[in-house]
Structure 1
Amino acid sequence: MERVLVPDADAFHAFQQRCQDGDWQRDCSGLAVCLEPPPPGCTVHQLKCRIDIPEVAAGTVYDVLQDGEYRRQWDTNVIASHDIARVAANANVSYYAWRCPKPLKNRDVVTLRAWQVEDGCHTIISFSVKHPKYPPRKDLVRAVALLMGYLVHPTGPSSCRLTYLAQVDPKGSLPKWVVNKVSQYLVPQMLKRLHKACVQYPAWKQQHGLNVKPWLYPEQNELPELALSALALQHAASLDDIDESGLAEAKDESGEHGGEEN
């Protein structure tokens, strides 16, 4: 099994640089998208999406991204989401399952998720791992996150810029409309929902463990400890492929094309 390591300072720096590089295309709402072709030896595109948040501090956005309980309040895509174990003071192993646009099969992923707060920048990095108690499920397609995460940096005392990066192999052959929909609609809409959730978070947190933030205070993390040696990197080649390339985009009862919420 290939050894799993918690990202170090160099890995976080490299991720931050990747979040900033690229040919960004900005829309009328101020949201910017960058879809990059696969690098040599890879077949998976890298999608980056960036949004300016003028009325929320970087630390609040970071809390929203880390708060698993609150995520179930704003993430309409989620089927199941929870942390499994702690592998370092700044890293957990997590499970996430999400709805895909109809008629595609839904996906899930097991990741090692690590975070860093340094010089005002808040960074979260995730990548796929194998966990012995979380094998692929028959009712879901196990996706592979080659690299995924967020970079939040302040643009003022109460404003910030959020960048989302995803290089995820959904496993299988997908129709072109899926790639277009993810980059042009689904991910941008997710960030806009996240923006709204960030504005509402302080009031919600007042009623839900105001001072409980294990991502800032490791002593609050009550997850069971897990040795890194119990994990292995998850490679796409070891998972079954599924051919969905011939599927047409579904329409809901109103005649609109199906979106995230299905």
Structure 2
Amino acid sequence: MSAESVLIPDDRAFSNFKEECWSEEGWSLTYNKTGMTVWTQTIGGDEEKSLHKIKCRMVCKDVPAETMYDVLHDIEYRRKWDSNVIETFDIGKLTVNADVGYYSWKCPKPLKNRDVITLRSWLPMGSDYIIMNYSVKHAKYPPKKDMVRAVSIQTGYLIQSHGPNHCTLTYLAHVDPKGNTHTHTHTHIQSLSVCVCVCVQAMKKISKACLKYGEWKQRHTPGYKPWLYPEQTTLPTIPVSELSIQHADSLENIDESTLSEMQTREERDSD
């Protein structure tokens, strides 16, 4: 099997992900407020062209870990609470705890909307739960003309239980959003602070969604949870051979920096 083959994560991959969620080495603390902490890490030497990792941790004192896990899995419920979602659907399953899915989301103007195809896998580990993904290519779902295909190098969630009604959610993202939005360092820093802000808002949204999930699920196929009961899935099985790794450098870089600067100028002028 070549290094370019698509691999379904094994136990070691999940353990490594969990370790990175809790490691603080090489991470810069950028936000710390009311139960929410965000760290960032720069990958690569060139500040203007480098990628970032972002890690966001939220303490939820009124949400059981099991509910958080269900909410992050439940695609029908996501369509209800995630106002950024344009379209999301599962393409097919690979194993009992791995599938392939499509997700597209709205980006703030003037940026183009993004979409992504990912191989997602999940694993309960004692009182902890992990859901993680990375980008893959599928011949039936090529990049769309009106969207920028983003690349998840590795993204995921670690949910840790601290009792019957108390959990911690850590979101770790190593993503290339594609598009060239930061040709100058100041807009680069600006785009990073936007990422931090978006991350914090998204985490708060997830927390609120968890509080309403029990009531919603009672009215929408309450027993249907294929992420817990794989025998319930109706997804077709797709062979791993139909997938290949999605590399960021194989996608076109759309220059959105002039758009960003124009918008910044317009905003300044309208103040």
Q: Would you say same fold, with TM above 0.5?
A: yes
Q: What is residue 222 of structure 1 aligned with on the other side?
A: 234
The Cα of 1:104 is off from its aligned counterpart by 0.5
Contact 2:103 2:115 in 1 (8 A): yes
Provide the secondary structure at the position in 1 that maps to 2:90. Answer: strand
Amino acid at match of 1:3: S
Cα contact 1:52–1:160 (8 A) shared by 2 = yes
- Which stretch of structure 1 is more off in the superposition, 89-98 or 174-183? 174-183
Q: Distance in 1 between matches of 2:44 and 2:22?
A: 17
Partner Cα distance (1:92, 1:31) in 2: 30
Find the residue that maps to 2:175 and give its secondary structure: strand
In structure 2, what is the Cα distance between the partners aligned to 1:170 and 1:60?
29
1:234 is matched with 246
**Higher Cα radius of gyration:** 2
Which digits, 9 at most, give the CA deviation of each residue in 1:61-94, with x for residues without a partner? 0000000000011111111111110011101100
State, as a whole percentage, how many aligned pairs show the same letter.
46
In 1, Cα distance between the equivalents of 2:262 and 2:38?
22
Q: Which amino acid aligns with 2:192?
A: V
2:30 and 2:40 in contact (8 A); partners too: no
- The 8 Å contact of residues 77 and 98 in structure 1, kept in 2 or not, is answered as yes
Look up the match of 2:165.
158
Give the aligned partner of residue 259 of structure 1: none
Q: Which has the higher helix share?
A: 2
Aligned counterpart, 1:181: 194
Deviations 1:192-211 (A, max 9, x none): 01100001100100001111
2:257 aligned to which of 245, 248, 252? 245
**Counterparts in 2 of 1:234 and 1:192: CA distance versus 1, 3 Å:** same
- AA aligned to 1:65 is L
The aligned amino acid for 1:37 is T
Q: CA deviation at 1:248?
A: 3.2
CA distance in 2, matches of 1:215, 1:37: 33
Counterpart Cα distance in 2 of 1:66 and 1:249: 38
- Amino acid in the other structure paired with 2:37: A
Q: What residue in structure 1 maps to residue 115 of structure 2?
A: 108
Contact kept? 1:103, 1:248, Cα under 8 Å: no
Counterpart of 1:156 in 2: which secondary structure?
coil
Look up the match of 1:6.
Answer: 8
Match of 2:35? Answer: 30
- The 1-side partners of 2:14 and 2:85 are apart by 26
3-state SS, counterpart of residue 201 of structure 2: helix
Q: Partner residue of 2:185?
A: none
SS in 1 for 2:261: coil
1:53 corresponds to 2:60: yes
Distance across 2 between alignment mates of 1:15 and 1:28: 24
Distance (whole Å) between structure 2 residues aligned to residue 222 and residue 187 of structure 1 = 32
Distance 1:61 1:88 in 2: 22
Report how far residue 30 of structure 1 moved: 1.8
What 5-or-longer segments of structure 2 have no aligned partner? 183-187
For 1:213, the aligned partner's letter is: K
How large is the Cα RMSD of the aligned pairs?
1.9
Q: Give the deviation of 1:249 after TM superposition.
A: 7.6
TM-score normalised per structure 2: 0.89
Structure 2 counterpart of 1:260: none
TM-score, L = length of structure 1: 0.92
